[in-house]
Amino acid sequence: MRKIAVLTVVAFSVAMFFSSLAFAARKTIIKIGINAPLTGDIPKVGEGTKYAAQMWLEDIEKAGGLEVGGKKYDVELVIEDNESKAESAVKANTKMISQDDVLAIIGPQSSKQAVPAGEVANKYKTVMISPWSTNPDTTLDRPYVFRGCFLDPFQGPVVANFITDEFGFTKAAVLYDVASDYPKGLAEVFKDAWEAKHGEGSVVAYESFTTKDTDFSSQLTKIVKSGAQVLFTPQYYNEVPLIVRQAKDLGWEGPIVGSDSWGSAELVELCGEACHGLFFSSHYAAAGAKGDTKAFIDRYEKTYGYTPDDVAALTWDSLQLAQQAIQDAGKLTGRIEKDREAVRDALTRIENFDGITGKMTFTEEGDPIKCAVIVKINNQGEFEFYSSSCP
Amino acid sequence: MEPLIEYFYYILQNIINALQRGSFYAVISIGYSMVYGVLMLFNFAHGDIFMVGTYIGFGIATVFLAVLTGLVPPPVIFLATVVVTMFLASWIGVFVEVAGYRPLRQAPRASAAITGLMIGIIFETTILIMLGAKRLSFPPLMEKVNYHIGGIYITNVKAMIIIISLLLMLGLHAFIQKTKWGMAMRAMSYDFLAVPLMGVSINIIAPLTFAVGAGLASVAGILYGQAYPILDPYMGVLLGWKAFVAAILGGRGSIKGAALAGYLLGFIEIFVATVFPSTLRDFIAYSIILIILTFRPRGFFGMEHSTKLRL
């Protein structure tokens, strides 16, 4: 009898010991999900995302973990490839939320994936910060979804104002991909902003194509004939070189202006001299950066051998935001649902966050208020700061 | 300029645009038709054979430009690139036939047809694994000169694409009409049961057909690289499907039909976007083709006997 009692006590304490170990082990790891287009249409964007995230993780590891409420936690990145497809981005988010138990998700980058993926994150009440998605729908009515950049409706007027002030033009043409959320949204906003400035019908050609098209000759012939003075094309870096070259072949002589989707390190590599001297709106400009931004650029260049594009910079800022929110949450309970909620609440409270792409404060929708930059591609093919525009 | 003349130039410019676009559809769709003539199935890997051909062309062009520039004039480099690429890409065609289609020669047609789709995916992922997902920029094989004649713009690259495509098709026509091999291919498409009994082996004619189709596609790839110099592993998918539409529209198995339908497709796509808002381009363009097929189910030059086929 006595023996049994002793055994029971021993067994119980052993069980207690292990269970507390298990409990502790589960609690000391924070997982952050990265939803990035590592393959597919825009792999360079995925690469920049991954590299920025790895740099961030390096810093955390150097500090011996992430300190939350006086306790150090190990951080683990869960990097999922969304193949630059909407359905894969949704799948990646679902997996990271339900299987990997991530505390927060960074990504997806383009609106095409971020809009549907945000739906999932919001449904499962997990904080998602899309560093690069500028479509309003990404965060609209989704308390758990945030972004690290400004919105399309902001970028449209910025570009329209810039063209008007810089060149004094009154007639514009637009060429965009009708099958992709981001270019379509931005083209519409630009058209509205331009026509509000220069009157109805001042967008003299409003032409479209569909994703994967490579021949824009009929649209561009129309645009050349329309008498437009400037061409606005909010396309991605894999399409811009084709558009720019074909336009020049068809006798286009005016400026071609783009949006932040141009800002990839690969654009100039693919486009060459044809793109020199063109302008686009963006989140930051690498040439001529100062302070923390410069430190980030130098470190990235040293590690990966090329200048980081805006995606990398925004991903970096988004991770810093997530980090601060996790730290501000005060204390992690180990119960993932509760912790996710605490992180969300902390994120909404962040004010004047000093990121490398500018100061940020979130609106109620989870959109930051920050400035846009007009970048000029100079004759060395670098992205140079030209002017800036704040709301 | 007077409006009427301006409009005339506008149409002329679009005709040139359409000729360039149509050239690609025509040269690629011929590959579908040739294989169909001999094996009576569509090689759905053809779009990806085109893609692999373009990558081979890219590799050869890069090497030749690095080694030969300065030694020989640019047209020689161009010609050498075309010849070597064609030769290498032909073996890709042979490989597809031997590895993909030959083992399934007695299998149900549907199995053989999807083999092509799978080979296509294997090619795409192989390139993806070997070269990564990074876009490549096809090096220009000649200095681009833009001519402004009257109200139209034409580059030497565009003119070259149109001319070389026509030459390729004329060459193929001569090959099929004038040579023994061509005769064997025609005979095979006429009766695939009796011809092997006459001592013409399907195991020689089929790979030959694939090789010729792949060779043509690879030249189209080099030209494509000059016109649209951005390469990605999925570039053959959409173009392959559209060329396939042209092959059907031209009449299954008809090489002449495929070529003409390829140009027609180019014209329809370009001119629909010219007349209607470009948002509606594919919708209207492919509705037109659907209507044509409703009235001519066999396409333009489809032969009577091609309806009793197994697929």
Q: Are residues A140 and A158 in the same domain?
A: no
Residue A390: what pLDDT? Answer: 72
Question: How many residue pairs from chains A and B have C-beta atoms closer than 8 A?
Answer: 91
User: Is pLDDT larger for residue A28 or for residue B201?
Assistant: B201
> In sequence order, which residues have a C-beta less than 8 Å from that of residue B238 and are 6 or more positions away?
A212, A213, B47
Do A218 and B135 make contact, defined as CB atoms within 8 angstroms? Answer: no
Query: A105 near A93, Cβ under 8 Å?
Result: yes
A158 and A145, same structural domain?
Answer: no
A105 by DSSP, 3-state: which?
strand
In this complex, is the C-beta atom of B145 within 8 Å of any C-beta atom belonging to chain A? no
- What share of chain B has pLDDT > 90, as a percent? 70
Instruction: Report yes or no: A307 at the B interface, CB cutoff 8 Å.
Output: no
Q: Is B172 exposed, middle or buried (0-12, 13-18, 19+ CB in 10 A)?
A: buried
Give 3-state DSSP helix, strand, coil % of chain A, rounded to 5.
50, 20, 30
For residue A18, what pLDDT band results from cuts at 50, 70 and 90?
low
Please state the rounded mean pLDDT for residues A185-195. 93
Mutate to test the interface with B, among A83, A84, A212, A221 (most CBs of B within 10 A): A221
Model confidence at A25, in pLDDT bands (50, 70, 90)? Answer: very low
Better-predicted residue by pLDDT, B179 or A333: B179
Q: How confident is the model at residue A326 (pLDDT cuts 50, 70, 90)?
A: very high
A31 falls in which pLDDT band (50, 70, 90)? very high
Residue B112 belongs to what domain range? 22-236
Query: Whole-angstrom Cα distance, residue A203 to residue B108?
Result: 56
Chain B CB contacts of A204 below 8 Å: none
Q: Which residues of A touch B28 (CB under 8 A)?
A: none
pLDDT at A19 > cutoff 80: no
Those of residues 229-248 in B touching chain A at CB distance below 8 A are: 229-230, 232, 234-235, 237-238
User: Residue A103 pLDDT more than 90?
Assistant: yes
d(CA B53, CA B95): 13
What are the Cα distances from residue A249, in Å, to A211, A213, B113, B152? 22, 17, 40, 10
Q: Are A311 and A131 in contact (CB under 8 A)?
A: yes
Q: State the DSSP H helix or E strand holding residue A58, giving kind and residue range, or none if neither.
A: helix A43-62
Q: What does each C-alpha distance from A148 to A80, A212, A217, A311 come to in angstroms? A: 19, 28, 36, 10
The reply to whether A385 and A318 lie within a common domain is no
Complex confidence, ipTM: 0.89
| pLDDT the model gives residue A28 | 74
Whether residue A80 sits in one domain with residue A28? yes
- Within a domain: residue A1? no
What is the DSSP-derived secondary structure letter of residue B132? -
What phi and psi values does residue A372 have, to the nearest 5 degrees? -105, 155
pLDDT of residue B269: 93
Q: Return the exposure string of B62-96: e unless at least 16 CB atoms fall within 10 Å of the residue's CB, then b.
A: eebbeeeeeeeeeeebbeebbebbbebbbebbbbb
Percent of chain A whose predicted confidence (pLDDT) is above 70: 94
- Number of structural domains in chain A: 2
pLDDT tops 50 at residue A74: yes
Closest to A251 (Cβ–Cβ): which among B153, B229, B277? B153
At B128 the pLDDT is 92
Which residues of chain B make contact with A38, given a CB cutoff of 8 A?
133
> What is the nearest CA distance from B83 to chain A, expressed in angstroms?
26
Chain A positions touching B234 (Cβ under 8 A) are 212
CB contact A164 to B (< 8 Å): no
Residue A52, in any domain of the structure: yes
Write out pLDDT tens, residues A333-354: 888 999 999 999 999 988 888 8
The pLDDT tens digits of the residues spanning A122-157 come to 999 999 999 999 888 899 999 999 999 888 778 888
Contact list in B for residue A223 (CB cut-off 8 A) is none
| CATH assignment of the domain containing A259 | 3.40.50.2300
* Residue B132 maps to a domain: yes
d(CA A193, CA A378): 27
Phi and psi for B147 in degrees, rounded to 5? -95, 135
pLDDT exceeds cutoff 60 at B202: yes
A366 assigned to some structural domain: no
What's residue B191's pLDDT? 79
For B219-251, the pLDDT digits (tens) are 999 999 999 999 999 999 999 999 999 999 998
Angle at A274 between CA A273 and CA A278, to 5 degrees: 100
Domain containing A269 equals 153-282+375-389
